[in-house]
Amino acid sequence: MKNRNMWFIFFSSPAVLFGAAETAYAAPALEEVFVTAEKRVESLQDVPISIVAFNQAALENLGISDIKDLAAQVPNVQIGEFTGSSTTVRLFIRGVGQGDVQVTQDPSVALYMDGVYIGSSVGTAFETADLERIEVLRGPQGTLYGRNATGGAINIITREADPSGLRIKQIFNVGNLGLFRSTSLINVPIMGVAAVKLAYTSYDRDGWVDNIGNGDNFAIEDRETFTTDFHWDIGDTQALNYRYSQNSIKDTSRLSQALAFDPNAPLASLIVFQNPQVDANGIPVEATDKRLDKATAFDEQQKGDVQIHAHTLNYEWQFNEMMTFKSITGYRDVNAFTQNSQVPTASLLGIYSITNGLPDTSFNQFTQEFQLLGDSDTINWVGGLFYYEDESEETNNGNSSGSEAIPAGVLIDYTSTKNKSLAAFGQMTWTPPHLGGSWHFTFGARYSDDNRKAFRDNNRISYGFGGVPNGIPSFQANYDKDFSKFNPAFTVDYDLNDFSNVYAKVVTAYKSGGTSQRSTSLINFQRGFDEEDLTSYEVGYKGDLADSRVRVNAAVFYMQYDGYQQSVSTGNTPGERDFVNIDSADIYGLEFDLSVAVTERLIGSFNYGYLNSSFGPNLISYLGLDANALDGLSLRTDELTDDLALAPSHSATVSLDYTRSVSYGVFSANINSQYQSKTNSGIINPTGYLDTRTLLGATTSLSEIELGSGYGYLKVMLWGKNLTDEEYTIGSIRQGAFDDLGFIGGVATFGDPRTYGIALEYEFL
């Protein structure tokens, strides 16, 4: 406890001391935030969406450089890696997300990078240099963001190349766990109308769980990012921006450790642990609910190799003051080798890890979106066409089913996909002048047409626990289905005055159906699963009060699922799974965001989210115990959990920012805390849980240190995350097959321990 208090005092005392000394009250006001949530630049306070936005300063204060760093920063939003795969990210908003990551199934939260939709969760843990803003849109975004935005959308916006002047930036960041990050950036103007920007980031961090066995340590992070941007202002009415990015990610997976082990359980002798030691009762050290800092891998731990190439071309032409045309073109290519290990320190019969997948994934996508935006005194509108296609292949050469020994060169599991989507969308906001200009009515709609194709070659001999063949035959199968949907939306908002408004909205969204690449049944693979639909009802308030010193945004909502998609075990091992549609699931909750300019220099914020989710009929009732419902159904008497996965009832963040000018620069300090209540990690009992957690972070910086006239500026920042070194889980699995045998009571992945460091930044403008 003494150690924790030391870190708290070290980082927070500067802000507290300077804050206590502050007596001036020189008309403080909160900065206006602009977003592009509705495809046009607007004030955040004017957009009738529950939205949280982070500008460049906030991203630096919170140490956010990739999508996973947003985890726990936004209430009612869950961002975490897929268990056993450090570079695959799962996104959940308001309890809506992708429970099982497969190339044959789409995410439920739309992720956008500079306006381009990212269609695969594989490789989304990439670093990003020179971020300008991140926007998190909570709730269904079925009109402007499409078929895979039932949970919401996240927009990542990078800073464009700037024709106005030369800019050079260099950042060095060092910290514990051997962390070293270097970012180099140069922006070169061309004749005042164009510019080229080059950026390179190299990032390394040691694994914080030592592997005493073969291979690398667990949780190594090794990444490189290169980007080039070209911006051209074509006269006064046109602009073109091209961006190319290349990402290399060579992380190792985090340790997934057993939380319980009963050596006296039936067939427990099948489990063999590789351990440096056992406790007084002979129980392996892996079987503990405490975060381990060392373990002995049974298999050799390997670094992944994820290579991403992405091209973005944005073109904008403003015909006149009332109408603008936009074209957004994107191409993305991902080639990924990863080691997906669950309980990598244990094996069945001493042969292989319980689950040790070695998937090779290739994924490429092309997107094209056209937008036409119009503005007048009474009507603002946007209409557009969206086209998307992707292709993927995934080969799993690892041990993905029980304890089978894999002869060299034998193909276990191959899946390929081809998907296409075409959509037309429109949204119009009408402000009737005869109602005084205070009422705004928004009508939106989107029509989507999707085709999904998949092929699976299940060319393997599958074994159950104990090395006994389970009788599942090899097969080759094709899946080919079309889906289409019309999604309307309606919003009405009313300006209470010039600084506050209320709104009410009804929004619909849908996610297309698909099939399961883990299916061991030809019938199930060909049948697949249906689309899911979500209808959301929301009422909100947005207001800048007390001369813009206080900002209050609040929303209450109710959402109803139809055909909720969920992965369930249908084979003899946990990895053999199919998707089913569950009717129905209900979610209601609220979000409350408060910012206060306490003084001109001190700003505090409090954000809170509440969720209450439940299912209708349980899964067994839904399936009706019909033997024809799913081929190979092995759910026995399992029931659904009371609430949805990764939907904590309570989540909150608190932040305090202090800034003041000093004789040699600008002093800033931030202290922040994120709280999340306990939540289950799956929907089928027995399930794992993510325990309650409270994480403390802080930064202290001195910036704008002038190095003589015309020589640029320096910034020095101390930073720390999880300063109290709390032990918390980011993934937890309770597999029914394990519980039947009684020897493993759960598998968990822990989040990072305390990290801290110092950053030195030089910038020439």
Give the Cα separation of 361 and 338 in Å (integer): 9
- Longest pairwise C-alpha distance within the chain: 81
**Residue with structure tokens 């007390």?**
546
Closest CA to 338 of 26, 85, 563: 85
- Helix, strand, coil distribution of the chain in percent, nearest 5: 5, 55, 40
Taking residues 287-296, report their average pLDDT.
86
For residue 13, the model assigns a pLDDT of: 42
**What are the two backbone dihedrals, phi and then psi, of residue 306, each rounded to the nearest 5 degrees?**
-110, 120
Residue ranges making up the domain that contains 373: 2-764
Taking residues 165-186, report their average pLDDT.
97
Cis before 584? omega within 30 = yes
| Range of lowest pLDDT (206-220, 403-417, 555-569) | 403-417
Tokens read off for 721 = 């995350």
Give the Cα separation of 693 and 753 in Å (integer): 13
DSSP H or E segment with residue 226: strand 221-234
Better pLDDT: 460 or 674: 674
CA separation (Å) from 240 to 25, 147, 235, 262, 383?
44, 28, 11, 63, 20
In percent, how much of the chain has pLDDT > 70?
85
Taking residues 221-231, report their average pLDDT.
96
CATH number, position 266: 2.40.170.20
Q: How distant is the alpha carbon of residue 534 from its chain centre? A: 20
| Range of lowest pLDDT (119-123, 356-360, 527-531) | 356-360
Q: Are residues 726 and 750 in contact, defined by beta-carbon separation less than 8 angstroms?
A: no
Q: Are residues 297 and 276 in contact, defined by beta-carbon separation less than 8 angstroms?
A: no
Taking residues 97-122, report their average pLDDT.
88
Closest CA to 473 of 515, 414, 519, 405: 519
DSSP H or E segment with residue 18: helix 2-21
Better pLDDT: 666 or 61: 666
Give the Cα separation of 430 and 428 in Å (integer): 6
Give the Cα separation of 370 and 325 in Å (integer): 8
- Local confidence band at 46 (pLDDT 50, 70, 90 cut-offs): very high
Tokens read off for 336 = 């990924």
Taking residues 724-739, report their average pLDDT.
77
Per-residue pLDDT tens for 449-484? 999 999 998 865 554 444 445 556 788 899 999 999
Q: Quick check: helix, strand or coil at residue 53?
A: strand
Taking residues 128-157, report their average pLDDT.
91
Q: Are residues 431 and 494 in contact, defined by beta-carbon separation less than 8 angstroms?
A: no
For residue 159, the model assigns a pLDDT of: 94
- Local confidence band at 692 (pLDDT 50, 70, 90 cut-offs): very high
For residue 746, the model assigns a pLDDT of: 79
Tokens read off for 162 = 């700037």
| Range of lowest pLDDT (569-583, 643-657, 729-743) | 729-743
Strands 109-113 and 152-158: parallel
Output the 3-class SS for 382-432.
EEEEEEEEEEEEEEECCECCCCCCCCCCCCCEEEEEEEEEEEEEEEEEECC
Output the 3-class SS for 77-139.
EEEEECCCCCCEEEEEECCEECCCCCCCCCCCEEEEECCEEECCCECCCCCCCCEEEEEEEEC
DSSP state for residue 296 in the 8-state scheme? -
For residue 619, the model assigns a pLDDT of: 52
Read off the pTM: 0.91
Output the 3-class SS for 439-491.
EEEEEEEEEEEEEEEEEEEECCCCECCCCCECCCCCEEEEEEEEEEEEEEEEE
Give the Cα separation of 462 and 349 in Å (integer): 16
Strands 89-93 and 96-97: antiparallel
Q: Is the pLDDT of residue 489 over 90?
A: yes
CA separation (Å) from 358 to 340, 362, 380?
6, 13, 51
- Local confidence band at 317 (pLDDT 50, 70, 90 cut-offs): very high
Better pLDDT: 620 or 34: 34
CA separation (Å) from 400 to 35, 155, 356, 406, 690?
44, 34, 6, 10, 25
- Local confidence band at 576 (pLDDT 50, 70, 90 cut-offs): confident
For residue 61, the model assigns a pLDDT of: 79
Tokens read off for 537 = 């009802």
Taking residues 58-65, report their average pLDDT.
80
Strands 679-680 and 689-690: antiparallel
Better pLDDT: 682 or 71: 682
Give the Cα separation of 225 and 201 in Å (integer): 5
For residue 136, the model assigns a pLDDT of: 94
DSSP state for residue 172 in the 8-state scheme? E
Q: Is the pLDDT of residue 739 over 70?
A: no
Give the Cα separation of 304 and 257 in Å (integer): 20
Q: Are residues 719 and 759 in contact, defined by beta-carbon separation less than 8 angstroms?
A: yes
The terminus-to-terminus CA distance of the chain in angstroms comes to 45
Q: Quick check: helix, strand or coil at residue 21?
A: helix
Q: Is the pLDDT of residue 196 over 70?
A: yes
Give the Cα separation of 70 and 62 in Å (integer): 9
Better pLDDT: 720 or 359: 720
Q: Quick check: helix, strand or coil at residue 13?
A: helix
Q: How many domains does the chain have?
A: 1
